[in-house]
């Protein structure tokens, strides 16, 4: 029963946040304190009442690419480390049972076992993967805190900079924004190619 309390608390807070999302968003837009902004960014990463990409883009519109990227990066890193710790020390066995039933994660699981730093970095780079799921997976897989933190921090940078830049420049500089987006998509394609090749080698080491 004790292990269910954090989950129930999460659901309760998420429900309250959803009901008062307009007030929270207004507070978010009207605060200029770096500490407050990082705290709000962290909470929005843990309790996704809004897609985090929207949060980053809004920060970019309000504060510019560099400052917005810093706030969003620190917020999502703090949120990820917190979730990672909770899963690792309270929900590991439940997570293992869940992962054992997910055949689609088999290649990613194998890659994580052989190249944990690379696996987490790639997972952070790919926008198609749910970032909260990566946090939970890392905790279940017993990846070290330092490996998880460094890989996550590195892998999150391109996407955060992209959305912060687009939030502040898409309307005023559409052509440049298109070029930046195209470069990012090219990076994602290259990452996917590398991921598939390494995954095949991990699954068939003697081929």
Question: Is residue 193 scored above 70 in pLDDT?
Answer: yes
| Domain residue limits, the chain | 2-203
CB within 8 Å of 111: residues ≥ 6 apart = 118, 119, 122, 195, 198, 199, 202
Question: Is residue 156 scored above 90 in pLDDT?
Answer: yes
Q: What's the pLDDT band for 110 if we cut at 50, 70, 90?
A: low
If you average pLDDT over residues 1-26, what whole number do you get?
55
Q: Which has the higher per-residue pLDDT, 127 or 67?
A: 67
- Quote the CA–CA distance of 67 and 118 in Å, as a whole number: 27
For residue 1, what pLDDT is reported? 46
Helix axes 145-169, 174-203, angle to 10 degrees: 150
The pLDDT tens digits for 47-64 are 877 778 888 888 888 888
Tell me, rounded to whole angstroms, the distance of Cα 161 from its chain centroid. 13
Q: What's the pLDDT band for 155 if we cut at 50, 70, 90?
A: very high
Nearest alpha-carbon partner for 146 in 127, 120, 122: 120
Q: Does the CA dihedral 75-76-81-86 come out positive or negative?
A: positive
For residue 152, what pLDDT is reported? 94
Question: Is residue 154 scored above 80 in pLDDT?
Answer: yes
For residue 128, what pLDDT is reported? 74
For residue 13, what pLDDT is reported? 52
Judged by average pLDDT, the poorest of 32-36, 53-57, 120-124, 172-176 is 32-36
Both tokens of 205, joined, read 């080491």
Helices (H) and strands (E) counted in the chain, each on its own, are: 11, 0
Question: Is residue 69 scored above 80 in pLDDT?
Answer: yes
- Quote the CA–CA distance of 106 and 47 in Å, as a whole number: 28
Question: Is residue 168 scored above 70 in pLDDT?
Answer: yes
If you average pLDDT over residues 39-45, what whole number do you get?
87
């Amino acid at each position: 029963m004790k292990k269910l309390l954090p989950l129930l608390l999460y659901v309760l807070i998420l429900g309250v946040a959803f009901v008062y999302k307009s007030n929270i968003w207004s507070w978010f837009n009207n605060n200029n304190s770096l500490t407050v902004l990082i705290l709000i960014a962290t909470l929005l990463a843990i309790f996704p009442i809004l897609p985090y990409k929207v949060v980053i883009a809004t920060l970019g519109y309000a504060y510019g690419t560099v400052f917005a990227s810093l706030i969003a990066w620190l917020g999502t890193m703090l949120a990820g480390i917190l979730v990672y710790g909770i899963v690792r020390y309270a929900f590991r066995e439940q997570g293992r049972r869940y992962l054992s039933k997910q055949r689609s994660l088999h290649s990613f699981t194998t890659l994580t076992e052989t190249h944990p730093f690379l696996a987490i970095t790639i997972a952070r780079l790919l926008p198609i993967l749910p970032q909260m799921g990566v946090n939970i997976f890392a905790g279940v897989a017993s990846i070290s805190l330092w490996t998880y933190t460094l890989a996550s921090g590195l892998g999150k940078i391109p996407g955060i900079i992209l959305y912060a830049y687009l939030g502040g420049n898409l309307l005023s500089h559409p052509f440049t924004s298109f070029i930046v987006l195209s470069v990012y998509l090219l990076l994602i394609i290259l990452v996917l190619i590398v991921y598939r090749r390494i995954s095949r080698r991990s699954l068939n080491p003697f081929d």
